[in-house]
Amino acid sequence: MAEEKSAQPSKNASAAKGAGATRVKKAKPPAVEDKPFTEFIEQHLVPGLADALGKAGLAEINLKFQKDKLAVKGANPSEEYWQVQGTWPMGGDRQFNIVFTKEDIKGPKFFYYTQGDSLSSTVEQFMGDERRITLGLIVLYTLQRLNGQKWLTRN
């Protein structure tokens, strides 16, 4: 009898699995990160970054997305890269750039900043160790980088 009782639950379990298999899964909309590069940057990253910077007290920041030359000493003047540029007149003109070397958010990215009229002398790798690149992570890393530069808050 014990064998009969143990056999019955397995029949019920397999019947339940069979009923669940006939359900149709709803198709998930694609993640914003899967959208075409320029659409993702213009419609999601720039507005998301503007909102986050506004909450951090930088409402007067001007963000733009464009293909431009690197404003870095020693950079090749003929090469242009897609860049998200943020500028604001806090304590002298300040500008930061997130550089995308490929038209892919998962490709290599760099960060540099300038203050005043000088050219930047340092280009830093941006999010190089991250396997998964999401909108939230790009915004978070940008805020962390600006905070590390003491542009968001003072010590």
pLDDT at 33: 82
pLDDT at 2: 55
pLDDT at 67: 93
Percent of the chain at pLDDT exceeding 90: 26
Low-confidence ranges of the chain (pLDDT < 70): 1-22, 90-92, 121, 153-155
Burial of 95 (0-12, 13-18, 19+ CB in 10 A): middle
pLDDT at 16: 52
pTM, entire model: 0.74
Beta-sheet strand order (sheet of 80-88): 62-69, 80-88, 94-100, 109-115, 124-125
